[in-house]
Structure 1
Amino acid sequence: MNEREERFDEQTEEALGLLFEQFWVLREDEPDAYRLIRDREHKLKRYISDKFGFDLVIRQHFIKLEKIPVEPKGWMGIQVFQEPMDYAIFCCALAFTEQKAVNEQFLLSDLTESIQDMYGGDFPLDWTDYRHRKSLVRALKEIARLKLIQTIDGNVELFQSDAEEEVLYEVAIYARYFMRSYPDDLFRFDSVDEILESEWQRHPDDRRRKRVYRQLLFSPVVHRSGEADADFAYIRNYRNSLRDDLEAHTPFRLEVFKNAAMLTLPERKRRYTLFPDQRGISSVALHVAAHLREQEGSEATELGEIRLPRQTFEAVVRQVKERHGHGWSKQHRDETDKETVAALLALWQEWELAETDTEHDMIVIRSGAGRMIGHYPKDYVKEVKQRGE
């Protein structure tokens, strides 16, 4: 292919973004998006299979990209779920719907009875227990949100306060397509790692390249884990070809440093979740990262990490707040130092820019954090000095 044929046009790039950002595209809800992808099916399938080793599933009523990570991360879960029980009930409910025909109706009481029989937790489900009922409600609300079932009559929220509450549901056409089809019996696997490893047997060619593409697209930052990190070595050795390919097929730009690689967007796009965003805590993060980069005493490890005792980190945040807090949002100006530290760590951990070493009570700030710093505009700084703040 020549360069013109290989490069995605704006519409194909848009279609690829939809596939990666959404769990699936339902024709009934998004007919234009469905048609956009369907019209470019062959071009997208070739690229996705070659670079990622993923399957693009296209059916009459929906389109879904089967996305499999190199390593599962916390943000990949269902964010409204609060405990493992939620996932277990969710899966039991899906198993129940798979036994039903499309458009078949069923009662909540039938579902709860079936879930109790299937549930494999350490303790049996007891619908007189408020916690168990609350977990069921979270699971069923998510199943309904995903359009796997439709509420015909009743309100599942009322089940939280009354275990006798009844709801009438109907099985949607998408119910049997939510779970991936595995060629092997899941009972033969002893761990998640074994399941992930088995997936590579289906796409054995160019495994390293596919691992790298998956990590770049699925991780906020790909950090070097050590001298023997073959994935990161691949990124550094082939960064020019990776950069050219990603720029030809996505809106992203690849940036590679000694210990970190990341995809950035030259222009903000509404579809993507970006860092920094408009939240006040992002300003805090940029100021703290800038302070750490400028601070002579902040010695980084060979992997570019800064390890600080929690008390020292809290002192750093306090110092940054005293110097730059005048421009922070009211929430972060008024809250306690510990509250600011907690919010900052939650943000950095969400973006894989920091982690906590609970055993030694240390905060580990990863190298990617130092690549995203911020300062006030000169005009603002001058104005602040004139006001004497």
Structure 2
Amino acid sequence: MNILEILLNRRWILKARDRELYYQVKEALASGEEKRFLREKMGYQVIVNPYLIKVEKMPAKPENWMGIMEFKDPVEYVFFCIVLMFLEEKEAEEQFVLSELTEYIQSQYEKEQIDWTIYRYRRHLIKVMKYCTFCGILQVDDGSEDGFARDYTGEVLYENTGASKYFMKNFTQDIMSYAKPEDFEKEEWIDVNEDRGIVRRQRVYRKLLMSMGMYKNADSEEDFAYIRNYRNMIQGELSELIDCELQVHRNSVFLILDESCHLGRTFPEENTLSDIVLLFNGVLQEKIQAGEIYIETDEQIRLPKVTFQKMVEECKERFCCAWNKTYREMTFGEIYREVYEYMSELMLIEERHEDIIIKPVMGKIMGTYPPDFHLKGAKDE
């Protein structure tokens, strides 16, 4: 059991749900190694109390993959925040019915009038309540959200677990005047008394452990200088805690994880969409070697959007007979949308105006099929 992987992978460890794991991690933290690393190298506070264990994780900078992935509409985030407000007044193990919460949401939501007879609002709230149950904020004691989906008068009996008080990060400053993500970044470093050395160190470790890669630009010169100066120390310290290798290039840095390491979401994943992106990387490498595509001095590739689309289409035409039925039967438009959104989410590409910027991490790994894959695919059918 790798304690660091568990703490960074999970939002928290709830004693009520994972009692054995809770005590294992609590005992391991007592030795101090992982706790010291999280506090000194990453600037993360570790919360240990009779109810849960949680690492207060913050990124070096906001990324497009962060957030609650189950939520697709801004109103769902608003509903969720109102639920947290509602639970502030509830004691642990206190019960309440859904209608009590829906009335509270109506009284607190100022942007528009919430009418629960409209299915759209009920659907958003159901998604929020299911997430609250999934992550351990609430427990369903009686009923089901399905009844509320059919009729706004449907009731569900919930129990507050008490974990909601620890969901949000504790901020040392008043955040009501914050208007953009950068405001939270500045707040994060207030407690270190503007010590640039500490800020830089923690920022570097956060980037290495929480981003797909680090890229050199005007804003990251200090971070790259730190890595060049302390490369061996960083590699040694990280390899003692997780199975990984630090790979440093002229304009990029990557933390390559061993197959035995399960630190958060990694690429490639075990799904067909990930395989398709690996095959796309193979097509990309072919065109680079043929001189059709050039790598710029910053190790990135800039392609017109139409060229990127044609490459995805070529990938589909060449390899789709070996994909599972769902992806074989998709139209090109459906395939392209899935590939584009997936690659954007993992920060493998970035759209700028009418161009697609392919990040250097794409050169790290590619996939191919054996020459007779189409024959094997036909036989399997």
| TM-score grouping bracket, smaller chain normalisation | 0.7 to 0.9
> Structure 1 residue 152: deviation in Å?
2.0
Per the alignment, in what secondary structure is the counterpart of residue 40 of structure 1? helix
> Structure 1 residue 230: deviation in Å?
2.7
Structure 1 residue 92 and structure 2 residue 94: aligned?
no
- The 2-side partners of 1:247 and 1:200 are apart by 27
Q: Which residue of 2 aligns with 1:178?
A: 167
Q: Which residue of 2 aligns with 1:247?
A: 239
Moved more, 22-31 or 224-233: 224-233
User: 1:268–1:325: structure 2 CA closer, same or farther, 3 Å change rule?
Assistant: farther
Which digits, 9 at most, give the CA deviation of each residue in 1:127-181, with x for residues without a partner? 2222111111111111122222222222223222311122222221323222222
Structure 1 residue 118 and structure 2 residue 139: aligned?
no
- The 1-side partners of 2:372 and 2:221 are apart by 46
Q: Which residue of 1 aligns with 2:361?
A: 368
The answer as to whether partners of 1:154 and 1:167 remain within 8 angstroms in 2 is: yes
- The 2-side partners of 1:170 and 1:190 are apart by 34
Q: Which residue of 2 aligns with 1:104?
A: 94
> Structure 1 residue 226: deviation in Å?
4.5
1:354 to 337, 349, 358: 349
Listed as ranges, the gaps of 5+ residues in structure 2 are: none
- Higher RCO (C-alpha under 8 Å, 6+ residues apart): 2
Matched AA of 1:363: I
2:131 to 142, 152, 156: 142
User: 1:232–1:348: structure 2 CA closer, same or farther, 3 Å change rule?
Assistant: farther
- The 2-side partners of 1:95 and 1:385 are apart by 59
Q: Which residue of 2 aligns with 1:7?
A: none
Which digits, 9 at most, give the CA deviation of each residue in 1:248-294, with x for residues without a partner? 12222222223322222222446743311232233322232233233
Per the alignment, in what secondary structure is the counterpart of residue 306 of structure 2? helix
Per the alignment, in what secondary structure is the counterpart of residue 169 of structure 1? strand
1:219 to 211, 223, 226: 211
Q: Which residue of 2 aligns with 1:152?
A: 141
User: 1:168–1:334: structure 2 CA closer, same or farther, 3 Å change rule?
Assistant: closer
- The 1-side partners of 2:80 and 2:372 are apart by 56
User: 1:228–1:142: structure 2 CA closer, same or farther, 3 Å change rule?
Assistant: closer
1:234 to 226, 236, 255: 226
Moved more, 291-300 or 83-92: 291-300
Moved more, 87-96 or 176-185: 176-185
Which digits, 9 at most, give the CA deviation of each residue in 1:210-251, with x for residues without a partner? 001011111122222348643234334432221111111222
Number of residue-to-residue matches in the alignment: 371
Root-mean-square deviation over aligned CA pairs? 2.7
- The 2-side partners of 1:216 and 1:182 are apart by 24
Structure 1 residue 256 and structure 2 residue 248: aligned?
yes
The answer as to whether partners of 1:223 and 1:368 remain within 8 angstroms in 2 is: no
TM-score normalised over the length of structure 2? 0.88
Per the alignment, in what secondary structure is the counterpart of residue 357 of structure 2? strand
- The 2-side partners of 1:249 and 1:314 are apart by 41
Moved more, 211-220 or 29-38: 29-38
- The 2-side partners of 1:125 and 1:336 are apart by 38
- The 1-side partners of 2:156 and 2:372 are apart by 63
> Structure 1 residue 92: deviation in Å?
0.7
Per the alignment, in what secondary structure is the counterpart of residue 74 of structure 1? coil
Q: Report 1:3-82 matches (<5 A).
A: 11=1, 14-41=2-29, 42-82=32-72
Structure 1 residue 283 and structure 2 residue 271: aligned?
no
- The 1-side partners of 2:106 and 2:20 are apart by 41
User: 1:271–1:28: structure 2 CA closer, same or farther, 3 Å change rule?
Assistant: farther
User: 1:312–1:48: structure 2 CA closer, same or farther, 3 Å change rule?
Assistant: same
Q: Which residue of 1 aligns with 2:189?
A: 200
- The 2-side partners of 1:234 and 1:64 are apart by 29
User: 1:321–1:187: structure 2 CA closer, same or farther, 3 Å change rule?
Assistant: closer
The answer as to whether partners of 1:106 and 1:168 remain within 8 angstroms in 2 is: yes
- The 1-side partners of 2:171 and 2:139 are apart by 26
> Structure 1 residue 316: deviation in Å?
2.3
TM-score normalised over the length of structure 1? 0.86
Per the alignment, in what secondary structure is the counterpart of residue 238 of structure 2? helix
1:318 to 313, 331, 338: 313
> Structure 1 residue 384: deviation in Å?
7.0
Matched AA of 1:291: V
Matched AA of 2:226: Y
Matched AA of 2:307: T
